[in-house]
Amino acid sequence: MTSHSHAKSDHLQPWIVHSTCYRDAPVDGCCLTIGNFDGVHCGHAEIIRRLVTVADGLGLPAVAMTFDPHPASLVRPHAAPRPLTTISRRAELLMCLGVDVVLVQPVNQAFISLSADTFFADILCSRLHTRTIVEGSDFRFGAKRQGDIHLLESLCQHSKMALEIVPPVVVGDIPVSSSRIRELIVAGKVDVAASMSTSLCRLTGTVIEGTHRGRTIGFPTANVGAISTLIPKEGVYAALVTLEGKKDRYPAAVHIGPNISFGENTSTVEAHLIDFSGDLYGSTVHVDFVERLRDTRKFTSVDELKYQLGNDVSLSRNITAMLNASLERKP
């Protein structure tokens, strides 16, 4: 995106991940929302819904700004949350909700040191020519999160910028949040997490060399490594697996944890793709978790293990088929 500020250098410049609208900030302005949007849950979707409605009414592009990496990774690196989504996945989900442009602001020390006033004046006003900003009531901005929704409201009034405040989406008397969804995934409740999100819980990784043990007992698995997002609780899951650049989604039974039946203690993510044959080594795969089936356990024999794996595969096939059928019925 072309900068419209003479006061800041290019290393603070946002860049476009996906755009269906424009590449340079239009002089007529935009409607903007800012946030981490990690997981793109139903609370985020409500903000985006309002953003798109306002933008359409004004004939302006709807712009969502997010950050990479999460600011907490610089402010408190040892306590920074593991992300729910990669940046590209986050942008994809936001675009699916109707956003015209997703901007990813590179996060570095210079950026997180900007005061709330400077952030508002330099980025929202000078660079993006924001006409309307749409935010949740818990919005914070600026160095040390010094700016809140009340300061934003004051700055908007002074700059004649419209502000829309969207109340939180509440499920079970608790506001939906990325933190809440993260807790559910860590507990293995991927189906509950998905009910509060705009998509299934996904991890993305690269298929790496494993022990090949699954192949010898009739259940070959893809050993998924280089995972940057949050991994669900150890256990066996019904899932859908997509290969990077492909449209087909394969039902899968996914094991997370060590193979304790074989005396191993290193945790792995292994996916058995049902009805798939081929070499996946080096491929990027997306694993979408549908439901947790059971805990990991130690089996007394290979035959007992094979019998259980057969049940896992059958159950995974049925669960994912029901999900696909329900999706096909939706308009």
Hey, what amino acid is at 13?
Answer: Q
Which DSSP letter does residue 231 get? P
Q: Is the pLDDT of residue 216 over 50?
A: yes
CB 170 within 8 A of CB 176: yes
- For residue 310, the surrounding DSSP H or E stretch is helix 302-329
pLDDT tens digits for 153-186?
A: 999 999 999 999 999 999 988 999 999 999 999 9
Q: Is the pLDDT of residue 11 over 50?
A: no
- pLDDT of 4 reads 33
CB 242 within 8 A of CB 268: no
Ranges in the chain annotated CATH 3.40.50.620: 10-171
CB 55 within 8 A of CB 137: no
Q: Which residues of 279-307 are buried (b: 16+ CB within 10 A; e: fewer)?
A: ebeebebbbbbbbbbeebeeeeeeeebee
- Residue 213's pLDDT band (boundaries 50, 70, 90)? confident
CB 118 within 8 A of CB 151: no
> Which superfamily does 10-171 belong to?
HUPs (3.40.50.620)
CATH architecture of residue range(s) 200-329: Beta Barrel (2.40)
- pLDDT of 218 reads 86
Ranges in the chain annotated CATH 2.40.30.30: 200-329
In this prediction the pTM is 0.90
Looking at per-residue pLDDT, the higher value among 73 and 6 belongs to 73
Q: Can the peptide bond before residue 69 be classed as cis, meaning omega within 30 degrees of 0?
A: yes
**Token pair in block for residue 46:** 């409500």
- pLDDT of 214 reads 75
